[in-house]
Structure 1
Amino acid sequence: MSNSDRIWDLIDEKQQAFLELSDRIWGMPEVAYTEYRSVNEHRDMLAAEGFAITENAAGIPTSVVGEFGSGGPVIAFLGEYDALPGLSQEAGIAEPRPLPGNGNGHGCGHNMLGSAALLAAAAFKKYLEETGVPGTVRYYGCPAEEGGAAKTFMVRAGLFDDVDAAITWHPAAITKVDEAKSLANTRIDFTFTGRASHAAAAPHLGRSALDAVELMNVGVNYLREHVPSDSRIHYAILDGGGIAPNVVQAHAKTRYAVRSRDVHAMQELNGRVIKVANGAAMMTETEVAVKIHSAVSNLIGNTPLENLMFDNMQRLGPVPFDAADHAYAGQIQATLSAADIDSEYRRCGVEQRDGLSLCDFIAPLDAVGEPMVGSTDVGDVSWVVPTVQARVATHAIGTPGHSWQITAQGKAPAAHKGLVHAAKIMAGTAIDLLTRPETLAAAKADLDARVAKTPYVSPMPAEVTPPVEPRKPD
Structure 2
Amino acid sequence: MQNTEEIWRLVDTNQDDFIALSDRVWEMPELCYAEVRSCAEHTAMLEAKGFRVTREVAGIPTAVMGEAGEDGPVIAILGEYDALPGLSQEAGVAQQKPLPGPGFGHGCGHNLLGSASMLAATAVKDYLDANGIRGRVRYYGCPAEEGGAAKGFMARAGAFSDVDIAISWHPSSFSGVNPANSLANTRIDFSFQGRASHAAASPHLGRSALDAVELMSVGVNYMREHMPSDARVHSAILDAGGVAPNVVQAFAKVRYLVRAATLPELSKLVERVRKIADGAALMTETKVTSQVVSAVSNLLANTPLERAMQDNLDRLGPPPFDEADRRAAAEFQATLSDEDIEASYRRAGVPVRPNAPLCDLIIPADAMAAGGIGSTDVGDVSWVVPTVQARGATYAIGTPGHSWQLTAQGKMPAAHKGLVHVAKVMAGTALDALRDETLMARAKADHQARIGRTPYVCPLPADLDPPIKMSA
TM-score (norm 1): 0.98
Report the Cα offset of residue 330 of structure 1. Answer: 0.6
**Aligned residue identity for 1:396:** A
Tell whether the 8 Å contact from 1:299 to 1:382 is kept in structure 2 after alignment.
Answer: yes
CA distance in 2, matches of 1:85, 1:470: 13
CA distance in 2, matches of 1:429, 1:470: 35
Tell whether the 8 Å contact from 1:7 to 1:428 is kept in structure 2 after alignment.
Answer: yes
Q: Give the 3-state SS of the residue equivalent to 1:111 in structure 2.
A: helix
| Residue number in structure 2 paired with 1:347 | 347
Task: Output one character per residue of 1:220-264: Cα deviation in whole Å (capped at 9) or x when no partner.
Answer: 111111100000011011111111111111100000000001111
> Quick check: 1:155 aligned with 2:159?
no
| Residue number in structure 2 paired with 1:459 | 459
CA distance in 1, matches of 2:25, 2:471: 17
| Residue number in structure 2 paired with 1:50 | 50
Matches within 5 A, 1:58-457: 58-457=58-457
CA distance in 2, matches of 1:186, 1:292: 7
Q: Give the 3-state SS of the residue equivalent to 1:238 in structure 2.
A: strand
CA distance in 1, matches of 2:370, 2:363: 14
CA distance in 2, matches of 1:331, 1:220: 40
Task: Output one character per residue of 1:330-363: Cα deviation in whole Å (capped at 9) or x when no partner.
Answer: 1111111111110001001101111101011001
Report the Cα offset of residue 5 of structure 1. Answer: 0.9
Tell whether the 8 Å contact from 2:32 to 2:471 is kept in structure 1 after alignment.
Answer: no
Bigger drift between 229-238 and 365-374 goes to: 365-374
Report the Cα offset of residue 69 of structure 1. Answer: 1.6
Report the Cα offset of residue 387 of structure 1. Answer: 0.5
Task: Output one character per residue of 1:2-28: Cα deviation in whole Å (capped at 9) or x when no partner.
Answer: 211111111111110000000000000
CA distance in 2, matches of 1:163, 1:201: 65
Q: Give the 3-state SS of the residue equivalent to 1:375 in structure 2.
A: coil
CA distance in 1, matches of 2:471, 2:311: 43
Report the Cα offset of residue 450 of structure 1. Answer: 1.2
CA distance in 2, matches of 1:269, 1:471: 27
Bigger drift between 203-212 and 422-431 goes to: 203-212
**Aligned residue identity for 2:16:** Q
Give the unaligned 5+ runs of structure 1. none
What is the alpha-carbon root mean square deviation over aligned residues? 1.1
CA distance in 2, matches of 1:287, 1:123: 56
Matches within 5 A, 1:16-35: 16-35=16-35
Task: Output one character per residue of 1:39-86: Cα deviation in whole Å (capped at 9) or x when no partner.
Answer: 000000000011111111111101101111222110000000000111
Tell whether the 8 Å contact from 1:36 to 1:471 is kept in structure 2 after alignment.
Answer: no
**Aligned residue identity for 1:70:** E
Q: Give the 3-state SS of the residue equivalent to 1:255 in structure 2.
A: strand
Segments of 4+ moved more than 4 angstroms: none
Report the Cα offset of residue 389 of structure 1. Answer: 0.4
**Aligned residue identity for 2:214:** E
Q: Give the 3-state SS of the residue equivalent to 1:191 in structure 2.
A: strand
Report the Cα offset of residue 403 of structure 1. Answer: 0.7
Percent of matched pairs sharing the same residue: 64
CA distance in 1, matches of 2:78, 2:344: 25
CA distance in 2, matches of 1:456, 1:373: 21
**Aligned residue identity for 2:385:** V
Report the Cα offset of residue 285 of structure 1. Answer: 1.3
Tell whether the 8 Å contact from 2:32 to 2:470 is kept in structure 1 after alignment.
Answer: no
Give the unaligned 5+ runs of structure 2. none
Task: Output one character per residue of 1:110-156: Cα deviation in whole Å (capped at 9) or x when no partner.
Answer: 00000000000011111111111110111100001011110010001
Report the Cα offset of residue 470 of structure 1. Answer: 9.2
Tell whether the 8 Å contact from 1:182 to 1:372 is kept in structure 2 after alignment.
Answer: no
Q: Give the 3-state SS of the residue equivalent to 1:225 in structure 2.
A: helix
**Aligned residue identity for 2:285:** E
Report the Cα offset of residue 219 of structure 1. Answer: 0.9
Report the Cα offset of residue 463 of structure 1. Answer: 1.3
Task: Output one character per residue of 1:377-411: Cα deviation in whole Å (capped at 9) or x when no partner.
Answer: 00000111110000011111111111111111101
**Aligned residue identity for 1:170:** H
**Aligned residue identity for 1:468:** I
CA distance in 2, matches of 1:434, 1:369: 29
| Residue number in structure 1 paired with 2:39 | 39
Q: Give the 3-state SS of the residue equivalent to 2:104 in structure 1.
A: coil
Report the Cα offset of residue 471 of structure 1. Answer: 10
